[in-house]
Amino acid sequence: MHAQEDETLFLGSRHYFVLLVLLSLLGGLIGRGLYLQIYEQDFLTSEGGQRQIRIIETPAYRGAILDRFGTPLAISTPVDSVWVNPAEILENLEALKQVTQKLDLDYRATVTLLKQRADREFVYLKRQLEPEFAKSVAAGVAGVYLQREYNRYYPAGEVVSHLVGFTNIDDIGQEGLELVYQDWLRAQPGKRQVIRNRHGEVVEELAQLKPAKSGKDIYTSIDMRLQYIAYRSLARAIKYYAAKAGSAVLLDAQTGEVLAIVNQPSYNPNRRTSMAAGQLRNRALTDVFEPGSAIKPFTLAAAIDRGRYDLSSLIDTSPGYVMVSGYPIKDVRNFGKLDLASVLRKSSNVGASRIALSMEGSELWESFRDYGFGEPPGVSFPAESSGYLRHFSQWQPLDQATMGFGYGLSASITQLARAYAVIANQGRQLELSLIRKEAEVESGNEIARHVMKASTALQILQMMEQVVGPTGTAQRAAIDGYRIAGKTGTAKKSVAGGYQKDDYVAVFAGIAPVSNPRLVMAVMIDEPTQNGYYGGLVAAPIFQEVISNALRILDIPPDDLPGLKPKTGQGA
């Protein structure tokens, strides 16, 4: 009986003891809670905020590059990048393995990388993915998140790649206009303060700390209708003549705007893994060559401007060659006595040499400099070349003689086009531009420098018209219904110590229409190896195809229709 009473007493005491312990713990929790709420409130608020409040970037898009009418050449498209919080994702390696498989990443290498960066909260796994695909990768995986970015896309691909260039994965310009106008085009991301839940999702916007600012658009001078035609024509010619390379530039003769600028070989900026370094340069602006007979109009212009010759002057080219400092300068045959127009039409090297030697070296040098040779074209493009025009004080008589027909100096095809624009523009030299000029500039208010007498420019233009005529060297540049002027050039390529025997540069530069010059185009084909190599055969047809289309597209009226020509016996 006593034993039973003792056991009951013991159980009752234990019950009260357990109850006392539980009450003590509850009291401690309540006390701790009150203490934290009263004395540690600021600390807890700060700690909670640090775990939920984040400052995140608000994306902004890079400015677009457009042709003169707004056709996009470079635009930014939205993409998503996949990133992780290493501390979170490393707790779920199976999920990480699935993510790496979807992203085609090496699982072991990824784990090693994340362990090395375990002290960080943000590590990219893969950037700039198609949004829907990126969303499927991150869906339902703790520690895997998406960040909106913009990827640069080039709708015209290789057709305009040398002009536009490209950006890197961080949207920083690397080549072309993307590089030149980086500060103008670049986007300035904003910053905002948000609250995120444990899944990384934004649940509340707190404040905008810095507004996002997108880049500014650029309207280039390019007309994509003409750019496509020029690119297609050049590419076809390079293939047909099995040439090493080629370039062509089309200018608005009245404003100096570049309407088309194309090169071969080219590259597609949307496929950067396949780009080779040699394909990236804009050959029309960076590569130089000896232009050969395409220089002759400027030799004649310099002499006419200084009163050395006029249209009635005759140059004796007999017996078909001339010896200068012991070296022969030859024509294809003995042309006898030629007037200036015939020197151009027959492309006489002897005639051009005699004209060049009739002037002081300083006079010829100064004229060539005025026409733009030996100076960069001034379009503010990376690595644009100034060509080579040695100072006259270093010339020997042979140098001056060969300078007259395009040897001993070098120029880019853009420099050559700019020089021909002087002839087309009544002796005035306008600044070239790859950016669309404003309306007041296009209307003729731009300040232009006279570098050739207007009367001389007109005479040279009329002489070059004969070059494209039935007896000239550029018959393949003729266009029905239009008066065309131009000059061919065929030059051997120079090497150390002389010239290559069978490697040539074929050149043609021309103006249309003669009655009211609107367009100037220069074409260069480097090392044509089959189906011919003369400028009139290789380069002139490219001019003809592009300009005939350009005249139609730009609605430039014909100036050589039968109804426009004076009848026999009537005044011209």
21 part of a folded domain: no
The single-letter DSSP state of residue 430 is P
End-to-end Cα distance, the chain: 151
Q: Which residues pair with 327 in a beta bridge?
A: 324
- pLDDT tens digits along 157-211: 999 999 999 999 888 999 999 999 999 999 887 777 767 665 555 656 667 777 8
CB 503 within 8 A of CB 490: no
Nearest to 489, CA basis, from 531, 522, 529, 456: 522
More confident residue, 485 or 88: 485
Q: What's the CATH number where 191 sits?
A: 3.90.1310.10
Residues 336 and 382 in one domain: yes
pLDDT of 344 higher than 90: yes
Q: Which domain holds residue 316?
A: 224-564
- The catalytically annotated residue of 76, 221, 293, 342 is 293
Nearest to 341, CA basis, from 456, 453, 466: 466
Q: What's the CATH number where 363 sits?
A: 3.40.710.10
**Interior CA angle at 338 toward 517 and 345, to 5°?**
35
Residues 277 and 186 in one domain: no
More confident residue, 502 or 254: 254
The single-letter DSSP state of residue 148 is E
pLDDT at 189: 78
Query: What confidence category does residue 271 fall into, taking pLDDT thresholds of 50, 70 and 90?
Result: confident
Six token digits for residue 418? 């700019």
pLDDT at 156: 95
CA distances from 320 to 157, 316, 328, 340, 472 (A): 50, 9, 10, 16, 18
Report the pLDDT averaged over residues 486-499: 85
299 part of a folded domain: yes
With 0.85 as the threshold, say if the pTM is over it. Answer: no
- pLDDT tens digits along 541-561: 999 999 999 999 999 999 988
pLDDT of 73 higher than 90: yes
pLDDT of 232 higher than 50: yes
Six token digits for residue 552? 């139609």
In the residue annotation, 293 being an active-site residue is answered as: yes
Six token digits for residue 51? 């775990």
pLDDT at 204: 61
Q: Which of 183, 199, 219 is the last residue of a domain?
A: 219
pLDDT at 275: 73
Packed helices 224-240 and 540-553: angle between N→C axes, nearest 10 degrees? 160
In angstroms, the CA 386 to CA 377 distance is: 7
CB 182 within 8 A of CB 215: no
Residues 197 and 99 in one domain: yes
Is the peptide bond preceding residue 517 cis, with omega within 30 degrees of 0? no
In angstroms, the CA 500 to CA 506 distance is: 14
- 154-167 b/e (C-beta count within 10 Å ≥ 16 → b): bebebbbbbbbbbb
Residues 208 and 307 in one domain: no
pLDDT of 26 higher than 80: no
pLDDT at 10: 54
76 part of a folded domain: yes
In angstroms, the CA 134 to CA 377 distance is: 46
Residues 239 and 289 in one domain: yes
**Dihedral angle sign, alpha carbons of residues 465, 470, 475, 480:** positive
